[in-house]
Structure 1
Amino acid sequence: MKTFYYIFLFTFLSININSQITFEKGYIITNDGNKEEVLIKNQDWLNNPVEFIYKIGSEPSEKKGTIQNVKEFGVNGYNRLVSYKGDIDYSSNNIAALSIKKSPENVYKEIFLYEIIAGKVNLYSYTDKNITKFFYSTEGNREINPLIYKQYYFEGDVSKIATNEEYKNTLKSLFSDNPDVLNKIDRTRYTNEDLKKIFSLYNGVGINTNDKNRVKGQINLALRPGIAFSSFKFNSSSLGSNSTAKLPSKASFRFGVELEYLLPFNKNKWAVIFEPNYYSYKSEAKFFNDTYNGIIDYSVIELPIGIRHYMFLNNDSKIFINVQAVPFKIVGNKSLFTKEFVNINSKSEFSLDKTNQFYGTFGVGYSYRNYMIEFRASTSNNLLNSYELWNSNFSNIAIVFGYQIF
């Protein structure tokens, strides 16, 4: 098992180093106003970047773009990003930890903002960890200003939550020349979708937005049959010293159904996976100088949840790694470990542990279009956990195939 972990770690590090995100066509506008066509390493950032990497033409050398030398950049087909130097409200959004202040609790930042809507009035967004804030600028004045929204404890009373919706007053001022838009402002929430709608309505048809082209989250469903190779080792202080024994490893069919959610950032290279799967293990052997016969009959439905990281080789092929936790399992009612004397008609039966012991799995795999194959190994868990004098080590490795239905 340790060998597999080393292979797993080596594979992750070596492949991850060589599976860089590709450079894509884009542009930069320097702080002195020069626009240049370049190739940008498009990392489809989850949080707003403070810097980015680009190359000029066929030059092999990479350059770094920052607020200090670039005021705007964009990857073709994606939102452009504009530089911003100013305050951002970092007040907590956690209802249990709100501020007692109505006014924003600003932190000075130098950052690139995503431009969501462009027109007579432009809309920008900023995301960092658990906060999302919005900003605006106008055609006549390109200075970027915040749209203020904040929840707080009214007069310091934690039982009274009030909301500072100053952004609505700002929108009424910005859109004062359009009655149709004004009528919708009071119903406009401080969300990406609502603000996009009202800015789009005001700017009219033909607005310049690439927001629809950004990478979206995606749900996939796949069938995951395979072969599981299980092993079982046990010992008991009731059997004296040197009482460790191991039953032969056996292969069995396993079947699972995997639900995968590709996260909407970093070019869909990260995913959350949930894969209920079933397998069984039956084995027996004589041990302790053929004094005893050990028999195990084990069946289980595992309910693992975890994360997956993809490393793209080309448009059709990718390598992936999984790390999963198994917090829940359903053990078959007839799952038993039986210890019986070889020459005496006497035996002891032990119900295998049904408690939800926490253990994990690790996997490395290859995917080609809708097909995949994975080598997976689990950490050990004690199936005799309920018995004070007994201890066991159950683990398995598996070859798991897959076909993505959608």
Structure 2
Amino acid sequence: MKKYLFIFLLTFISFNGFAQITFEPGYIIDNSGKKINCLIKNNGWKNNPTKFEYKIDLNAKIQEGRIYNIAEFSIENGKKYTRKEVKIDRSKSILKRLSKIKEAEFTNETLFLEQLAEGDANLFYYEDSNLVRFFYNLNNNSTTQLIYKKYITENNRIGENTEYKKQLWDNLKCGNLSLNDVKSTDYKKSELLSFFTLFNQCKNPNYLSSAVSQSNSRKVFNLGIRAGLNSASMNFKSPQSSTNFELENNTSIRFGFELEAVLPFNKNKWSLFIQPMYQSFDGEKQLEFQKVSVDYKSIETSIGVRHYFFLNADSKIFINSAFQIDSALDSNINFETSSDFEITPRTSFNFGLGFAHKNANIKLNYNPRRELLSNYSSISSSYNVLSVVLGYNFL
């Protein structure tokens, strides 16, 4: 088992060092207004960036773009960020920290805003942790925040300042856009983008989709089957030393399925997963005065987080860590002449390293220590398992 663990750690370090985020084609516009085609490191930003890395070509050195020296940058078929000097309200939205002031409380800042819509009316987006703000301008004039704010009223209730609806009605009137269209538009990315698209289409009948900053089409959920091979060992320790024993290098199969949810940020490099799998372990050993046998079957349910390192469009390396709930199925440690023990495992953790190509994947998984006899105070039995698991996602 120690040899396998060494291989696991060595492989992890090698893969982790090899895997890199690729630089993707895009452009920057500097302070002079010059547009430069380049390669930009796409971190799949969840929060609006304050800086980014780029290089002029594959062999050039990496440079850093910041708000003070870059007016705009974009990744091909990806997000576009534009530098804007704006007044922003950073009032808290957490219940315990809500302001008692209804009006927006502005500060002057220079930010990279993500451009969502481009046309006669432009829509911009800003996110910083749990702070979400939208901005707009008309005909590329000054950029203004669309105001939405929760606050504490004089009656100690939660009020809502929805001034953004008045801003939309006063400034984006056109054709068949009605007051009901404004009233039904929530302070959400999809709904505001739809409203701005309708306005721009009204102004220009030839106007096409205005989403200049869209997430690439992606799979939100992956569902697949899993099957593999265990190499496991266990030991048993009690005050009665003559019953202590160890079983090593026991090989068995495992199988199950996995449901994975890919998180919509950081370029889809993070996901959450749940993986129920059947596994078993059995063996026997002749002790000094008696024989002991182990019959251990269970359903392991791993609930964890996974991180991907993309190698190219079809291949990626991943690492994961999971909290594991193990439900034993009529499992026991049976002594020939002594008392028998029912196996009732405790929760544990496991760690994995794998490689995926399109819908297929292979993973090395390690569960370093699982206590099998949680119902006994003076007796313990630890279980260690290294697994090779093959998988195929059909959804």
Normalising by the residue count of structure 2, what TM-score does the alignment of the two structures yield? 0.90
Distance in structure 1 (CA, Å) of the matches to 2:53 and 2:217: 19
2:298 corresponds to: 300
Cα pair distance change 1:156/1:247, threshold 3 Å: farther
1:22 Cα deviation (Å)? 2.0
Paired letter, 2:356? S
Q: 2:393 is matched with which residue?
A: 404
Separation of aligned partners in 1, 2:58 and 2:343:
63
Which of 359, 372, 384 is matched with 1:370 structurally?
A: 359
1:215–1:265 Cα contact (<8 Å) kept? no
**1:74-93 paired onto structure 2 within 5 Å:** 74-93=74-93
Alignment deviations for residues 153-175 of structure 1 (CA, whole Å, 9 cap, x no partner): 22262xx2211111111111211
Residue 247 of structure 1 corresponds to: 247
2 CA distance for matches of 1:12 and 1:106? Answer: 48
Q: Secondary structure at the match of 2:181?
A: helix
Q: Which amino acid aligns with 1:315?
A: A
Matches within 5 A, 1:2-401: 8=8, 11-57=11-57, 60-95=60-95, 97-106=97-106, 109-139=109-139, 141=141, 143-155=142-154, 157=156, 160-204=157-201, 205-214=207-216, 216=218, 218-237=220-239, 239-240=240-241, 244-287=244-287, 290-326=288-324, 328-332=325-329, 334-341=330-337, 347-353=338-344, 357-401=346-390
Query: How far has the Cα of 1:48 moved from its partner?
Result: 0.9
Q: Aligned-residue CA RMSD in angstroms?
A: 2.4
Cα deviation digits, residues 328-359 of structure 1 (max 9, x gap): 33221x21112233xxxxx31221115xx331
Structure 2 runs not aligned, ≥5 long: 202-206
> Between the two proteins, what is the percent identity of the paired residues?
36
- How far apart in 2 are the matches of 1:282 and 1:291? 20
Q: CA deviation at 1:10?
A: 5.1
Deviation at 1:207, TM superposition (A): 4.7
Structure 1 pair 391–107 and aligned structure 2 pair: CA distance change class (3 A) = farther
CA distance in 1, matches of 2:98, 2:219: 30
Residue 34 of structure 2 aligns with an amino acid whose one-letter code is N
Task: Tell me how far apart the structure 2 counterparts of residues 5 and 101 of structure 1 sit (CA, whole Å).
Answer: 58
Give the deviation of 1:81 after TM superposition. Answer: 0.7
Q: What is the letter of the counterpart of residue 150 of structure 1?
A: K
Structure 1 residues 311 and 177: alpha-carbon distance in aligned structure 2, compared to 1, 3 A threshold = closer
With over 3 angstroms needed to count, the CA separation of the structure-2 counterparts of 1:285 and 1:110, relative to structure 1, is: farther
Q: Secondary structure at the match of 1:386?
A: coil
Residue matched to 2:204: none
Bigger Cα displacement from structure 2, 99-108 vs 29-38: 99-108
Between 192-201 and 9-18, report the one with greater CA deviation. Answer: 9-18
1:260 to partner: Cα distance:
1.4
Give secondary structure in 1 for the equivalent of 2:180.
helix
Q: What secondary structure does 1:184 align onto?
A: helix
Structure 1 residues 361-388: Cα deviation after superposition (integer angstroms, max 9, x where no partner): 1111122222221111103121112112
The whole-number CA distance in structure 1 between the counterparts of 2:110 and 2:334 is: 67
Shift of 1:47: 1.4
- 1: distance between equivalents of 2:312 and 2:209? 34
* Structure 1 residue 300, shift from structure 2 partner: 0.9
Give 2:321's aligned amino acid. Answer: V
Supply the distance in 2 between the matched residues of 1:396 and 1:12 (Cα, whole angstroms): 17
How far residue 130 of structure 1 moved from its aligned partner, in angstroms, is: 2.0
* Whole-Å separation in 1 of the counterparts to 2:6 and 2:66: 38
Once the two structures are superposed, what CA deviation does each residue of 1:5-40 show, in whole Å capped at 9, x if it has no partner?
665555445434432222222222222222222222
Matched AA of 2:211? T
SS at 2:369 equivalent: coil
* Paired residue total: 390
Which residue type is aligned with residue 76 of structure 2? Answer: N
Check whether the contact 2:116–2:214 (CA below 8 A) recurs between aligned residues. no
Q: Is the 8 A contact 2:309 2:316 kept in 1?
A: yes
Structure 1 residue identity aligned to 2:84: Y
Partner of 1:344: none
